[in-house]
Amino acid sequence: MLSDWISARMASSSWIRAMFEEGEKRRKLYGADRVFDFSLGNPDTEPPAGVISALKDLINSHEPNLHKYMNNAGYPDVRGKIAAHIHQETDIAITEKHIIMTCGAAGGLNVILKTILNPDDEVILFSPYFPEYLSYIENYGGKTVVSPCSRDTFEPLPEDLEKRITHSTKAILLNSPNNPTGVVYSEKTLREVAEVIHRKEKEYNINILVISDEPYTQLVYDGVTVPSVFNTFKNSVIVTSFSKSLALPGERIGYIAIHPDAEDSDLLVDGMILSNRILGFVNAPSLFQKVIAECLEEKINTELYRERRDFLYNHLIDLGFTCIKPKGAFYLFPKAPIEDDIKFVNRALKYNILLVPGTGFGCPGHIRISYSVDMSVIRRSIPAFRALAKEFY
């Protein structure tokens, strides 16, 4: 009954899911307080109070037509508010017509790729990358091309990118702050990437769309600001969500913003609206479109995440691990003490520590630790990390 493609995918199910399921098993076996599960990027905080009260107000308002079909792009007033918000931040003349409400960033990425890819078109990813991208690209017959980031900074290497662009390159997919490294790509790097793209576009007489996947832009620390992709790349689209920034991953609410000066921007908009419909999303959840429109200035408490990052990072460094101190998202991506990251992750299970091997992100030799877990779990995990580290350092 199953397609060959799905059968193959099921056999090689994601590392993140596999570790999460291992955690469930171990929680039943050993008790929840004796398992240290750093595997999932699921925000563990509740949405800000302002989000909950906007939701209550909306339900009590008896606003008509709140649960009906609408334009496949979403409510015009909601899209207008988002456009105004982006305009305020970037000064770019973006309007409601350039915004499409989506079922999270994942839905948005699928809409974009469905709209632009012909079979065998190439999409360049910088590794390490969010592993779902591979399936999303394959969904539409695209080919993934990987450009490894610098192992010292985890920033893209423009000279490597230059070698990967061919006449078949359709898009470059960026993700900063990055999952799994937490690194925020610098403005200098992005400008260099833009220069490479311009050069190659001229050489091959092609247009390359920069797709910026930005669900973590609000989760940054140490006063860092995330450089604006719209101000660096004209031929670009931003896809984001409120899954992490407002701790609403289950509500499946996000949007695509199309740069008004992108090549064929009007066609891109119309194509993406059609894709949103025919992929079966139809439109983003109506209630939560209205909620987030009232909450564009709301923020979760990023101080909580910063404290966890500092605590865990400092302990790991003390124990002998090598790790870049990331400025965003809620992940650490230390080097595994042995080359075989899968072997190391399996060894960590001996201490009930659940990690994800870098191999799953296209970057063997590292491990991902998600610190979107309660501080009490992080504190309790330190003796387990100490015992694990002792085996290697």
Binding site for ligand PLP (CB under 6 A): 41, 104-106, 130, 175, 179, 213, 215, 241, 243, 249, 254
- The residue among 200 and 308 lying less far from ligand PLP, judged by its C-beta, is 308
* Angstrom distance (rounded) from CA 229 to CA 88: 15
- The residue among 94 and 173 lying less far from ligand PLP, judged by its C-beta, is 173
What's the one-letter identity of residue 143? K
> In angstroms, what is the minimal distance from the CB of 105 to ligand PLP?
3
Q: Where are the beta strands (DSSP E) in 254-381?
A: 254-258, 331-332, 353-354, 356-357, 367-370
> In angstroms, what is the minimal distance from the CB of 40 to ligand PLP?
9
> In angstroms, what is the minimal distance from the CB of 31 to ligand PLP?
28
Pair of tokens at residue 49: 């109070």
Closest CA to 98 of 330, 279, 305, 261: 261
> In angstroms, what is the minimal distance from the CB of 252 to ligand PLP?
7
> In angstroms, what is the minimal distance from the CB of 104 to ligand PLP?
3
Pair of tokens at residue 40: 């999932």
- The residue among 243 and 286 lying less far from ligand PLP, judged by its C-beta, is 243
- The residue among 113 and 388 lying less far from ligand PLP, judged by its C-beta, is 113
> In angstroms, what is the minimal distance from the CB of 184 to ligand PLP?
13
- The residue among 246 and 388 lying less far from ligand PLP, judged by its C-beta, is 246
Report the half-sphere exposure of 277 (CA within 13 A, side-chain side).
Answer: 11
> In angstroms, what is the minimal distance from the CB of 371 to ligand PLP?
14
> In angstroms, what is the minimal distance from the CB of 356 to ligand PLP?
12
> In angstroms, what is the minimal distance from the CB of 250 to ligand PLP?
9
- The residue among 213 and 298 lying less far from ligand PLP, judged by its C-beta, is 213
- The residue among 41 and 337 lying less far from ligand PLP, judged by its C-beta, is 41
* Angstrom distance (rounded) from CA 216 to CA 388: 30
First to last CA, the chain: 50
Pair of tokens at residue 382: 């330190």
- The residue among 37 and 213 lying less far from ligand PLP, judged by its C-beta, is 213
Q: What are the residues whose beta carbons fall under 8 Å from the beta carbon of 57, sequence distance 6 or more?
A: 294
Q: Which residues of 6-23 are buried (b: 16+ CB within 10 A; e: fewer)?
A: eeeeeeeeebbebbbebb
Report the half-sphere exposure of 267 (CA within 13 A, side-chain side).
Answer: 5
Closest CA to 295 of 75, 78, 74, 65: 78
Count H helices and E strands in the chain, helices first.
13, 12
Closest CA to 143 of 163, 118, 106, 167: 118
Q: Where are the beta strands (DSSP E) in 214-324?
A: 236-241, 254-258
* Angstrom distance (rounded) from CA 136 to CA 236: 18
Closest CA to 211 of 124, 341, 145, 128: 124
Pair of tokens at residue 230: 């719209």
- The residue among 48 and 104 lying less far from ligand PLP, judged by its C-beta, is 104
> In angstroms, what is the minimal distance from the CB of 179 to ligand PLP?
4
Cβ pair 210, 204 in contact under 8 A: no
- The residue among 73 and 319 lying less far from ligand PLP, judged by its C-beta, is 73
